[in-house]
Amino acid sequence: MLHFPYMVDWNLTSRVAGVQVPNWCAHMTVAEKIVPSGWLQISIRADPSALDDIANFLIQRGSPGVVVKKREIQGYFAQGADALGVKGDARRYLRSIKKVYPGMRDDAVRWRYLKDRNWNKAWQRFFKPQKIGRQFLVCPPWLEPPPLGKRRLITIEPGLAFGTGTHATTRGCMEFIEKAGALLRGGKFDALDVGTGSGILSIALIKIGAKKVWAIDNDPVALKVARQNLIANGAAQKVRLSGARLNQIRRLFSLVAANLTAETIMALDDGLAKRVAPGGCLILSGILQHKAGGIRRHFVASGFELVGRKREREWVTLLLRRR
């Protein structure tokens, strides 16, 4: 199974190719980040109880995803960037967790170089069309989508920016976008997507009938990727995409969606609250379960009521409505 869990603190990384790229390769060009010449694969045999912790380490260290098998986990690192550094860090990390997982053996680690083409093929196999909520079907561009029925198709090129539909927080937002659309009586409305990533939420908003969406992101790579996805989905004309900061936007919106982190949401709290029109909806996600209560209380005290709460694994998504 391929995981893109980003259980790590997003603030430690900026997300580019395949969900997360660590800050240590921030100096690389976009092309280098997206198309590395090859990959260094690490395979670690470990007790299943240790796999979540090891997955966190690999992703935090820059692996764009991890492949989890029964008693083994694999991570991938762009070849040439920092191979020796990665190997040293992995050795130190595995030595350090031996105290917690004494079963870890010294010969549990294997390294191997993969050609880019092999990786790309292997990686594509893990993306399948996904039904999200009752209205959406997200499909990568290289697959023929299954019959849609009443669902709306969203085509997303995975692996270029955050927001492929595989993550609990994106799915939570999309399900609440459906619900908010119903609360807004399916009428035409304007929406704001804060931290658009791949553009997936903006596309979902347009597909359920938003008149216009303002989409912002502070990562130039995400903006580039979002633009491509908006075009691929015929949504570019209706989405105003930019690197504007939230405090530069002055309008009110019937729906504001922000899939960030608990910390970023709290840092932007006033800006988010003020952009929601009376009676409008605010979707907040990227919140670890133990931080959700504090965020809910904060926004309820600022004039919102809680309309919905979804939890998947450790991630919570909130749907709030301005009184």
Ligand X SMILES: C[S@@+](CC[C@H](N)C(=O)[O-])C[C@H]1O[C@@H](n2cnc3c(N)ncnc32)[C@H](O)[C@@H]1O
Determine, following the binding rule CB under 6 A, whether residue 133 of this chain makes contact with ligand X.
no
In the range 270-309, which residues lie near ligand X by CB under 6 A? Answer: 286
Check binding of 225 to ligand X (CB under 6 A).
no
| Residue closer to ligand X (CB basis): 42 or 287 | 287
Q: How far is the CB of 34 from ligand X (least distance, A)?
A: 15
Binding of ligand X at residue 140 (CB under 6 A)?
A: no
Within 18-77, which residues bind ligand X (CB under 6 A)? none
- Name the minimum Å distance from CB 265 to ligand X: 10
Cβ proximity to ligand X, 82 vs 175, nearer residue: 175
162 binds ligand X (CB under 6 A): yes
Rule CB under 6 A: choose which of 73, 213, 222, 265 binds ligand X. 222
CB 40 to ligand X: min, Å:
26
> Where in 182-221 is the site for ligand X (CB under 6 A)?
194-197, 200-201, 216-219
Closest contact distance (angstroms) between CB of 200 and ligand X is 5
Answer whether 209's CB lies under 8 Å from 190's CB.
Answer: no
Of the pair 62, 195, the CB lying nearest ligand X is at: 195
Query: CB 305 → ligand X: shortest distance, Å?
Result: 23
Site membership for ligand X, residue 170 (CB under 6 A): yes
Where does this chain bind ligand X (CB under 6 A)? 15, 162-163, 170, 173, 194-197, 200-201, 216-219, 222, 259-260, 264, 286
